[in-house]
Chains A and B, each alone.
Chain A
Amino acid sequence: MQLTNRAKKLEKKPMTLAERAYLPAIFQGLSITMRHFFMKKATIRYPEETRPFSPVFRGLHVLKRDEQGRERCTACGLCAVACPAEAITMVAGERKKGEEGLYREEKYAVSYEINMLRCIFCGLCEEACPKAAVYLQPDKMAPPRFERDEFIYGKDRLVEPVSPDQRSVRGIQLTPEQADTLRNKMAAQSA
């Protein structure tokens, strides 16, 4: 019975002398391996070289600030709803008087946590966000850690760091000493 017409009839021919001698086949094999010897290597020597990321790569999240250095997130919770892995939790709070320079909207996220072990880096939170606050960075990944709770990223690790220049753009005048302490603090944080 024939099910398809793709079946090939195999012929069992007796081997030729060249095939039986085995040496031609050896030289053929040697030439193949020698070609590979001079080929470009697939290895990426990791700490020194890194794999080039695609421009649309979805890596570690960041909570963006606006042009004046205020947090964009308004804790609407749409990202948490959109998240298929239920990795995002947040607690909303009301902005108090005098905090206008810190948060853009009247409601802001008091705490905002993403569990990087649950996250599947699909980018749906980024698409859901109406305030363009959460982004998946194309050049950073969640690094490995020893403890599970270290994978729960809070606002301390998610919010984009603010530069001292942005503060002065915002109209808050910092004395040179204040700018220095802020700069040192940020350097200590990033180190």
Chain B
Amino acid sequence: MIELPALGWQSIVIFVVFAVSLLIATYCTYAERVIAAFLQDRVGPDRAGPYGLAQPLADAVKMFTKEEFFPGGANKALFVFGPCLAMITALMSSAVIPFGNNLTFGNNAFFLQGIEVNIGMLWIFGVVSLGVYGVMIGGWASNNKFSLLGAVRAASQNISYELAMGMALIAVLMMSGTLSLREITLQQSVAGEWHFWNIVKQPLGFIIFCVCAFAETNRTPFDLPECETELVGGYHTEYSSMKLGLYLFAEYVNIFVVSAVMSVLYFGGFNFPFQYELRDWFVNSQGWELTSAQNLITILGTLGLFAKIFGFIFFFMWIRWTLPRFRYDQLMRLGWTILIPLAVINILITGGLILFGVIQ
């Protein structure tokens, strides 16, 4: 048994998470097209490779070989920096998400998580709100009024919806009493007790969080920053080649991260129903050791978490091809006059229920 130092293990996990989130983002482009096609009675891309599975590769080659275009009067440094920042912030936020419980080998326990910090949720919020700088800088540096308009829209939209998102989250944090995503996950399932996922305790909070997640990732019906029908391409009008690719990619990485956060906060993370019963069954009836049974449960839980994430990603795409875009004033009214008051009411209700001991 090779003993890995803690830092080494963490860097491996982070590298794997990095690779996995890139892979998922790549195939999101394919999934988006196929799901869009299926929802519209078509079949989608099926030429490149079996079932069109090599389509993302073809798209990447296309992106890389396109002309790198700089608009006249653009701020070159910021023009390059914008998509980089969008991508960096999108990738950074996945570092604190617990992708699984711990694997135990001998005396060493390995967390399937990049960094276990007690401010995990704050980290994600901080990094995600940096993401708007990528859009803002890109839109401003393009020296194009459509881009600037898209960037301004993105900034105001993200600021408005981050408030409601944070308040929806506060209700969860009041119940959990911690910001650590790992703790929040573990609290949603305790051995020997009948525990519910947070979605049962926080249905209203989940709806608010979900709506805000759509707005934060600039997805339909909140895709005003890049609405093709109004602003040509919004903040990435002037972008071409792989810089455009980075923006589109960052959007999918963001969807992946937000789906993971929603799974962790409201859908039990890496927990799945009857996991402790399954573990005990392996130990008692099959004669497995407790650690190996636990490791198996961990791996199944990781797969379960990814199933939840894929479910949410599908939901994102399903919504995109169902709902039309909001008008700008409707977007602002929904954010400020509906979601924020609802979130405050949700906090009050949660506080009352905690006070009277209905939920904990």
- Measured CB to CB, the residues of A under 8 A from B are 23, 26, 29-30, 32-34, 36-37, 39-43, 45
Instruction: List B contacts of A37 (CB < 8 A).
Output: 35, 38-39
**Closest residue on chain A to residue B47 by CB atoms:** A45
- Whether A36 lies near B319 (C-beta < 8 A) is no
Q: CB distance B39 to A36 under 8 Å?
A: yes
- In the complex, A189 Cα to B48 Cα: how many Å? 33
How far is the CB of B352 from the nearest CB of chain A, in Å?
Answer: 23
Give A181 to B37 CA distance when docked, in angstroms.
51
A-B contact pairs, 15 of them (CB 8 A): A26-B319, A29-B322, A30-B322, A32-B322, A36-B38, A36-B39, A36-B40, A37-B35, A37-B39, A40-B41, A41-B43, A42-B41, A42-B42, A43-B37, A43-B41
Instruction: Tell me if B41 and A30 are in contact (CB < 8 A).
Output: no
Which of B41, B43, B318 is close to A34, meaning CB atoms less than 8 Å apart? B318
Interface of A is mostly: helix
Q: Which residues of the other chain, B, contact A26 by a CB distance below 8 angstroms?
A: 319, 322-323
Q: Does B27 contact A (CB under 8 A)?
A: no
Q: Is the CB of A33 within 8 A of B322?
A: yes
CB closest residue in chain A, given B221: A26
B9 lies within 8 A of chain A by Cβ? no
C-alpha gap A40/B43 in the complex (Å): 10
Q: Are B41 and A39 closer than 8 Å at their CB atoms?
A: yes
- CB of A41 within 8 A of CB of B322, answer no
Which residues of B (226-246) have their CB < 8 Å from a CB of A?
Answer: none
3 pairs of A and B residues whose beta carbons are closest in the complex: A43-B43, A33-B322, A29-B322
Binding site for A on B (CB under 8 A): 35, 37-43, 46, 207, 318-319, 321-323
Q: Are A41 and B41 in contact (CB under 8 A)?
A: yes
Chain A neighbourhood of B41, CB < 8 A = 36, 39-43
Tally A-B pairs: CB < 8 A: 37
Q: Give, as a whole number of angstroms, the nearest-CB distance from A40 to chain B.
A: 8
> From B42, which residue of chain A is reached at the shortest CB distance?
A43
- With A37-B38, A41-B42 already in contact, 13 other A-B pairs whose C-beta atoms are closer than 8 Å: A23-B207, A26-B322, A26-B323, A29-B322, A29-B323, A30-B322, A33-B39, A34-B318, A37-B35, A41-B38, A43-B41, A43-B43, A45-B46
Residue of A nearest to B46 (CB): A45
- Return chain B residues, CB-CB under 8 Å to A42: 41-42
Which chain B residue lies CB-closest to A21? B338
Q: Do residues B46 and A30 form an inter-chain contact, with CB atoms below 8 A?
A: no
Contact B42 A33 (CB under 8 A): no
Measured between beta carbons, the chain B residues less than 8 angstroms from A45 are: 43, 46
**Considering the chains assembled together, what is the distance between the CA atoms of A33 and B322 in angstroms?**
6
Distance from A50 Cβ to chain B, minimum over Cβ atoms (Å): 16
**Residue with the highest number of chain B CB atoms closer than 10 Å, among A29, A33, A40:** A33
- Chain A residue with Cβ nearest B315: A30
Residues from chain B with a CB closer than 8 A to the CB of A29 are 322-323
Task: Give every chain B residue within 8 A of A43 (Cβ-Cβ).
Answer: 37, 41-43
Set of chain A residues within 8 Å of B43, measured between Cβ atoms:
41, 43, 45
Q: In this complex, what residue of B is CB-closest to A40?
A: B41
List of B residues within 8 angstroms of A30 by Cβ: 318-319, 322
